[in-house]
């Protein structure tokens, strides 16, 4: 299913990335009346054009495609028949130009914290430290320069530890234990950025070499969103593919579902692949 977007001219300097994302959900017993919502298609935007997208769902079913309030592609479906495996895959090509100059409208909702980014004592302590770091910057420091100081503080505070948090873990809870995954790094950075006056949003996407989805932060500066990756303590470059953005993880969940079944356990397998295709 192709995704529309502006054409990339031959003279533009862009990176051509081929992506493949797969998710398989296995149930311990057959389930029925499975309703699901997928937000797994990278969308065309100011820094990327996405083409040749193909989506496969098992068991096969009809999909309804819409665009949500954050401009993410959303697919919904219903599988009434019994099944013990649900899977989907999305493949395509993204032309990424991280040096884009297209301006975007300012949205004030990204100045305010959301449910997963409300600070507690640990985040408040980091806010105080970051305020001191920002006070030491030149008076004309840009939002991105300020955000980079916050990012460095978040990076130093965490030990990357898969399985140490869940999708419900808040920024405060993650920072309290000083370990987490990319989602947690992003939530803490968002909380601090917003409290020091920066407009920031959560990004879910793909990054080569990760093997799964990734999360980072974008900060608004001069009409553009600029990406910063607190998990790796670096600015986002043209090796990152954006899937969705929002206030926090909850606005960017790649898959949500509800089904009928008795005492059913489920396990998830995910694989993501991104590689550059050189002409």
What's the whole-number mean pLDDT along residues 247-267?
95
pLDDT of residue 8: 38
Task: List the Cα angle 249/37/239 in 5-degree steps.
Answer: 50
How far is the C-alpha of 167 from the C-alpha of 70, rounded, in Å?
Answer: 20
- Packing angle between helix 121-135 and helix 143-157, nearest 10 degrees? 130
- pLDDT at residue 206 tops 80: yes
Q: pLDDT for 19-52, tens place per residue?
A: 999 999 999 999 999 999 999 999 898 889 999 9
Measured CA to CA, the distance from residue 103 to residue 101 in angstroms comes to: 6
pTM: 0.92
Please report the pLDDT score of residue 90 as a whole number.
97
Determine the pLDDT at residue 102.
78
Domains of the chain and CATH, by start: 15-99+254-276 (2.60.40.2250), 108-252 (3.10.620.30)
Give me the pLDDT at residue 6, please.
Answer: 35
Distance CA 192, CA 190 (A): 6
Work out the end-to-end distance of the chain between its first and last CA atoms, rounded to an integer number of angstroms.
23
CB 76 within 8 A of CB 96: no
Q: Cα 67 to chain center, whole Å?
A: 16
pLDDT of residue 99: 79
Q: What percent of the chain has pLDDT over 70?
A: 94
Least confident span in 5-9, 142-146, 238-242, 250-254:
5-9
Nearest to residue 95, comparing CAs of 49, 37, 57?
49
Separation in Å, CA 107 to CA 104, 110, 144, 178, 225? 9, 6, 17, 31, 11
């Amino acid at each position: 299913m192709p995704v529309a977007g502006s054409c990339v001219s031959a003279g533009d300097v862009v990176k051509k990335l081929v992506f493949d994302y797969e998710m398989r959900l296995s149930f311990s017993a057959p389930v029925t009346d499975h309703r699901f919502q997928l937000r797994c298609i990278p969308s065309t935007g100011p820094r990327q054009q996405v083409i040749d997208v193909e989506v496969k769902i098992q068991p096969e079913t009809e999909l309804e495609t819409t665009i949500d309030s954050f401009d993410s592609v959303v697919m919904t479906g219903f599988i009434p028949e019994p099944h013990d495996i649900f899977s989907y895959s999305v493949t395509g090509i993204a032309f990424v130009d991280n040096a884009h100059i297209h301006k975007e409208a300012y949205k004030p909702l990204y100045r305010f914290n959301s449910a997963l980014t409300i600070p507690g004592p640990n985040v408040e302590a980091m806010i105080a430290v970051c305020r001191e770091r920002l006070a030491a910057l030149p008076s004309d420091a840009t939002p991105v320069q300020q955000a980079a100081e916050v990012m460095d503080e978040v990076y130093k505070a965490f030990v990357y530890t898969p399985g140490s948090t869940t999708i419900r873990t808040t920024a405060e809870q993650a920072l309290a234990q000083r370990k987490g995954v990319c989602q947690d790094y992003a939530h803490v950075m968002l909380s601090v950025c917003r409290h020091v006056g920066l407009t920031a949003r959560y990004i879910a996407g793909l990054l080569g070499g990760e093997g799964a989805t990734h999360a980072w932060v974008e900060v608004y500066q001069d009409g553009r969103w600029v990406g910063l990756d607190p998990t790796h303590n670096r600015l986002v470059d043209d090796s990152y593919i954006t899937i969705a953005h929002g206030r926090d993880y909850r606005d960017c969940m790649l898959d949500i579902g509800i089904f009928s079944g008795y005492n059913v356990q489920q396990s998830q397998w995910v694989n993501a692949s991104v590689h550059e295709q050189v002409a």
